[in-house]
C-alpha cells in the first residue's frame, strides 16, 4: 500500500519496542524519515537496527526523551527542527501503566506520576511539535489512548483517566488546527503484546505461581472476557492502523478514535 509519505519526517515516541517500534517499521518501509524517541539509548540503538532490518533503505535516527520533563521534550523538538527542518508526523506511543490498586490507597503522588507521563507527556509533545507541523503546512498526529478510556478497570483509575483525557485532547486539537493541514487522531488498543503488558502478566504469573502463558489465559478468561476474538493483540495490528492515520489516505479523518481492541469494548459507542 502506498501511504504517500515518502520523505516525511516522523517522530515516534515509545519507539524502542511494541507498538512504537512496529509503527516505525511500517513508516520506514513507506519511505518516511524516522526519528525514534524513548528513554534509553541502548534500547533505541537495538530498535534502530530492527527498523533497518525491516527497511534496509530507510533513513533512521534516534534521540532520548523523557516525556515527564518539559525541557527534554523541547530539546528533542529543537534537534528535529535543526537537523530535519521540522517534523511532519508525530506518533505518541510512549506511556506507562502507572500506579494501580484500590482507589482509596492511591496517593496524590501516584496520580501525578501517571498524569505526568500518560497525559502531560502528550500535551508537551503536541505543544513542542505543532509549530513545526504548521511551518511545514502538513501534519499528522496520532496519540495512543486505550480501551480503558471507554471501559475503565477499577484497579487502574489514574491510567483510565489519563487515556480518556488523551482522546479529549486529540479532539480539541483537531478543531484548532485542521484548517492548517494538521490532522489529529487517536488509536485505542486493548491487551496488546507489549513490554508493559508482559510485565503485568509476569507479575500475575508470580502471584498465581504459574507460567506467563497460563497467566495470560487466566487473565483473558477472568479479567478481559469481552475480547471477542479471544486472544491478545499483536503490536503490528495496532501499528497498521496508526500508519494509515499518518498517511495521505486518511486525509478526511480528523478528531477520531479508532479502537483496535478485538471487540473488547462492549458498547457500540
Strand order, beta sheet including 139-144: 60-64, 33-38, 9-13, 89-92, 139-144, 182-189, 257-260
Which residues are marked as active site? Answer: 159
Instruction: Say if residues 14 and 92 touch (Cβ distance below 8 Å).
Output: yes
For residue 156, give the DSSP letter.
Answer: G
User: What SS3 string covers 43-72?
Assistant: HHHHHHHHHHHHCCCCCEEEEECCCCCHHH
Instruction: Say if residues 152 and 160 touch (Cβ distance below 8 Å).
Output: yes
Helix and strand element counts for the chain (H, E): 9, 7
What cell was used for 119?
A: 497525559
For the purposes of burial, counting CB atoms within 10 Å of the CB of 52, is it exposed (0-12), middle (13-18) or buried (19 or more)? middle
**What is the C-alpha separation between 26 and 210, in angstroms, rounded?**
35
**What is the C-alpha separation between 100 and 131, in angstroms, rounded?**
35
Contacts of 106 (CB under 8 A, 6+ apart): 99, 157, 158
Amino acid at each position: 500500500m502506498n501511504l504517500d509519505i515518502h520523505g516525511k519526517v516522523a517522530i515516534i515516541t515509545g519507539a524502542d519496542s511494541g507498538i512504537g517500534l512496529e509503527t516505525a517499521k511500517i513508516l520506514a518501509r513507506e519511505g518516511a524519515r524516522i526519528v525514534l524517541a524513548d528513554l534509553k539509548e541502548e534500547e533505541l540503538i537495538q530498535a534502530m537496527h530492527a527498523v533497518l532490518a525491516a527497511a534496509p533503505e530507510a533513513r533512521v535516527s534516534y534521540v532520548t526523551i523523557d516525556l515527564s520533563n518539559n525541557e527534554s521534550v523541547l530539546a528533542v523538538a529543537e534537534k528535529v527542527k535543526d537537523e530535519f527542518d521540522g517534523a511532519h508526523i508525530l506518533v505518541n506511543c510512549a506511556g506507562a501503566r502507572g500506579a494501580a490498586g484500590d482507589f482509596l490507597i492511591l496517593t496524590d503522588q501516584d496520580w501525578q506520576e501517571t498524569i505526568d507521563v500518560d497525559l502531560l507527556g502528550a500535551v508537551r509533545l503536541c505543544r513542542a511539535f505543532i509549530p513545526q507541523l504548521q511551518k511545514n503546512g502538513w501534519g499528522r498526529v496520532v496519540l495512543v489512548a486505550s480501551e480503558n478510556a471507554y471501559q475503565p478497570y477499577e484497579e487502574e483509575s489514574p491510567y483510565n483517566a489519563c487515556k480518556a483525557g488523551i482522546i479529549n485532547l486529540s479532539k480539541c486539537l483537531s478543531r484548532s488546527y485542521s484548517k492548517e493541514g494538521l490532522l489529529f487522531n487517536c488509536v485505542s488498543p486493548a491487551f496488546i503484546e507489549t513490554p508493559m503488558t508482559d510485565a503485568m502478566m509476569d507479575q500475575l504469573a508470580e502471584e498465581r505461581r504459574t507460567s506467563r502463558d497460563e497467566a495470560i489465559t487466566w487473565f483473558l478468561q477472568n479479567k478481559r472476557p469481552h475480547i471477542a476474538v479471544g486472544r491478545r493483540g499483536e503490536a503490528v495490528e495496532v501499528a497498521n492502523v496508526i500508519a494509515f492515520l499518518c498517511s495521505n489516505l486518511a486525509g478526511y479523518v480528523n478528531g477520531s478514535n479508532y479502537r483496535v481492541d478485538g471487540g473488547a469494548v462492549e458498547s457500540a459507542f
